[in-house]
Amino acid sequence: MIEKVIDQLAILGHPQRITVFRMLMRRFPDTVPAGELAAELGIKPSTMSNYLNALQRSGLVKQERSGTSLLYSIEMKNVQQMLDFLIVDCCRGRPDLCMPSTKGSDTMTDRKFNVLFICVGNSARSIFAESLLREIGGDRFNVYSAGTWPFSELNPFAMQVLQDKGHDTSVLRSKNVSEFSGPDAPDLDFVFTVCNQAANEECPAWEGQPISGHWGMVDPVKTEGTDAEKSLAFQNAYGALKRRIQAFTSLPVESLDRIALQSAVDDIGRASFEDTK
């Protein structure tokens, strides 16, 4: 076991290979095309191929083929085995020494939970998610959304969909993630990225180690065509997020420990939900 871990740590010791690994970790449980990784990180495709091959040989990354594309994702079982070895063997099983501190107990307490949805623009998908959880989750959650761009505006097609569905849009405004990192920001229990670009961005770790999830989906803002075609794209995005929010609110958050909750959140991100109006 120690030889395998030594090899894995040596692979991750390269500054660009660990950058690739970290991006795939942020995108977990997604599978990501090699070309997208190369473009996002500014690495030549041939060089990226070498990095991915090394990560794959170490067992930390797995590959699958979809048509003519090669898709990559984290081999989480092996990553967990590597971390378990370091914590149990090197740290003698002392999480107080080796694990980041987390607020609260092993299970979530019986209170309102703070949830933040992040997208790049905070104009459509994250606004949909905020509105849906506020309605479906009732008084169990304090819900927020934000974007990584310095400035954005609410998309008129998104606002029309929410109004047609009966949501109160008067409480909505575009916000930047910086509002949720200051001393007066709420302590977050859950942080979800709902677009790939937001997940790709280099963001600092959230204080308190909230449970995080990536629910990447197609950006309706990029839809071209007639107004009817654009409206349909926003309807589809709303429907897909509604299914995820329904799955999330059905979780017994108060009784699950952090590991079980994180696994459940990842399963929701991994599932293929059909669009519903």
Q: What are the tens digits of pLDDT across the range 9-28? A: 999 999 999 999 999 998 88
Can you tell me the distance from the alpha carbon of 107 to that of 100, in angstroms, rounded to the nearest whole number? 16
What percent of the chain shows pLDDT beyond 90?
A: 55
Q: With bands split at pLDDT 50, 70 and 90, how would you rate the model's confidence at 85?
A: confident
On average, the pLDDT of the chain sits at: 86
The pLDDT value recorded for residue 183 is 81
The pLDDT value recorded for residue 2 is 86
Q: In what order do the strands lie in the sheet with 61-66?
A: 32-33, 69-74, 61-66
The answer to whether the pTM exceeds 0.75 is no
Q: With bands split at pLDDT 50, 70 and 90, how would you rate the model's confidence at 276?
A: very low
Query: Highest mean pLDDT range out of 63-67, 163-167, 221-225?
Result: 163-167
**Pairing status of strand 69-74 against strand 32-33:** antiparallel
Please name each of the domains of the chain with its CATH number.
Answer: 2-93 (1.10.10.10), 113-270 (3.40.50.2300)
The amino acid present at 163, given as its one-letter code, is: Q
Can you tell me the distance from the alpha carbon of 41 to that of 241, in angstroms, rounded to the nearest whole number? 28
**Pairing status of strand 190-193 against strand 113-119:** parallel
Please enumerate in sequence order all residues whose Cβ is within 8 A of that of 174, keeping only pairs 6 or more positions apart, or say none: 121, 122, 123, 127, 147, 151, 152, 153, 154
Cis peptide before 204 (omega within 30 of 0): no
The pLDDT value recorded for residue 201 is 60
| More confident site: 198 or 253 | 253
| More confident site: 270 or 48 | 48
The amino acid present at 104, given as its one-letter code, is: G
The pLDDT value recorded for residue 105 is 44
Which among 141, 149, 142 is positioned nearest to 119, based on CA atoms?
149
DSSP state at residue 254: T
The pLDDT value recorded for residue 94 is 62
Q: Is 48 exposed, middle or buried (0-12, 13-18, 19+ CB in 10 A)?
A: buried
Can you tell me the distance from the alpha carbon of 71 to that of 64, in angstroms, rounded to the nearest whole number? 5
The pLDDT value recorded for residue 104 is 42
β-bridge mates for residue 229, sequence order: none
